Amino acid sequence: MEHLIGNEALMRRVLATVRSGKMPHSFLICGPEGSGKKTLARLLCAALECRSEEPPCGVCEQCRKVLSGIHPDVITVDDPEKKTVSVGMARDARDDLYIRPNEGARKIYIFPRAQDMNPAAQNALLKVMEEPPEYGVFLLLTDRAERLLPTVRSRCVELQMSPVPYEAAMQWLREKKSGISEETLAAAYRRSGGFLGQAEKLLEKAAASDAQAEAMLLAYASGDRFGLLQALWKLENYKPDDHRRDNLRAALLQAQSLLGDALTAKTGMPAMAETAQKLSDARSAADLLQAYRDVQEMLSAMESNVNLGHICGCLAARLR
């Protein structure tokens, strides 16, 4: 069964509450992106639906359905396509709650980004949070608890996710990302503030290398004009030419990510990628920021269909 890395005390507290049978009906799970809120929520749902003596067992039918995301009584209230969680969605959840669970002991509503519920949506839930049917549970997940109405917060038991301690985090990262140097893993840990989901994203970004972006930036780092022009020429004349625009966009996005990495390294944080470290060593923060903005501007220009020769020419002139 998947388990939560770090936050053991929190997990024990939650499970003790579930096993005591005196379960609150609403939880607010708070923590930054990548801090394990969703994992905690899934495990809590499994514990609530599990039929074994020591829930969650991870093997019974209820647990398996919850953990694979197909339990009919564990309902996620969100539409990733939309900017906010609308009042309509909140009302639908509220009304649905009065239909008894399908097969579970509980009917659970997960709000993965509760901070994106506007006040009307939050208000739609108030009454039902106050007096839900005995099988009803709300799990509100948020990275900005202050955006929730005090009346909503006061009806929830708050669970705060904490950073994962260094050793536990490193062990997990080593297993998950084999073949990456200790230094890079440690850099990702520090940069993430101890939140593993973020560390993982940083490592994925750093692994996505783009030879053309690197060539361009290494030339920029060492002040090699000829190398820079050559790299840009290659981008401008990339073959096959029907992929030229996509190829340039990918290279610019990667260049931007490396420049961002180099800028962060200027603040004393370790760089994630070697190229970023070289950039950071060779160039001033002001230079890096300017280059970052230049690349950003070229990316916007690409959106408005400016021709590629012009974009590469502009970069050649600006990256000095």
Q: Which is nearer to Zn ion, 15 or 299 (CB)?
A: 15
Q: Which is nearer to Zn ion, 60 or 149 (CB)?
A: 60
The least CB distance from residue 64 to Zn ion, in Å, is 8
Interface residues toward Zn ion, by CB under 5 A? 50, 52, 57, 60, 63
The least CB distance from residue 62 to Zn ion, in Å, is 6
Q: Which is nearer to Zn ion, 72 or 223 (CB)?
A: 72
Q: Say what angle helices 119-130 and 87-97 make with each other, to 10 degrees.
A: 10
The least CB distance from residue 111 to Zn ion, in Å, is 24
Q: Which is nearer to Zn ion, 30 or 67 (CB)?
A: 67
Instruction: Give the 3-state secondary structure of the chain.
Output: CCCCCCCHHHHHHHHHHHHHCCCCCEEEEECCCCCCHHHHHHHHHHHHHCCCCCCCCCCCHHHHHHHCCCCCCEEECCCCCCCCECHHHHHHHHHHHCCCCCCCCCEEEEECCHHHECHHHHHHHHHHHHCCCCCEEEEEEECCHHHCCHHHHCCCEEEECCCCCHHHHHHHHHHHCCCCCHHHHHHHHHHHCCCHHHHHHHHHHHHCCCHHHHHHHHHHHCCCHHHHHHHHHHHHCCCCHHHHHHHHHHHHHHHHHHHHHHHHHHCCCCCCCHHHHHHHHHCCHHHHHHHHHHHHHHHHHHHCCCCHHHHHHHHHHHCC
Q: Which is nearer to Zn ion, 74 or 262 (CB)?
A: 74
The least CB distance from residue 104 to Zn ion, in Å, is 11
Tokens standing for residue 44: 């809590």
Tokens standing for residue 318: 């600006």
Q: How far apart are CA 23 and CA 132, in angstroms?
A: 12
Q: Which is nearer to Zn ion, 60 or 250 (CB)?
A: 60
The least CB distance from residue 1 to Zn ion, in Å, is 9
The least CB distance from residue 53 to Zn ion, in Å, is 10
Q: Which is nearer to Zn ion, 137 or 199 (CB)?
A: 137
Q: Which is nearer to Zn ion, 39 or 256 (CB)?
A: 39
The least CB distance from residue 105 to Zn ion, in Å, is 11
The least CB distance from residue 248 to Zn ion, in Å, is 52
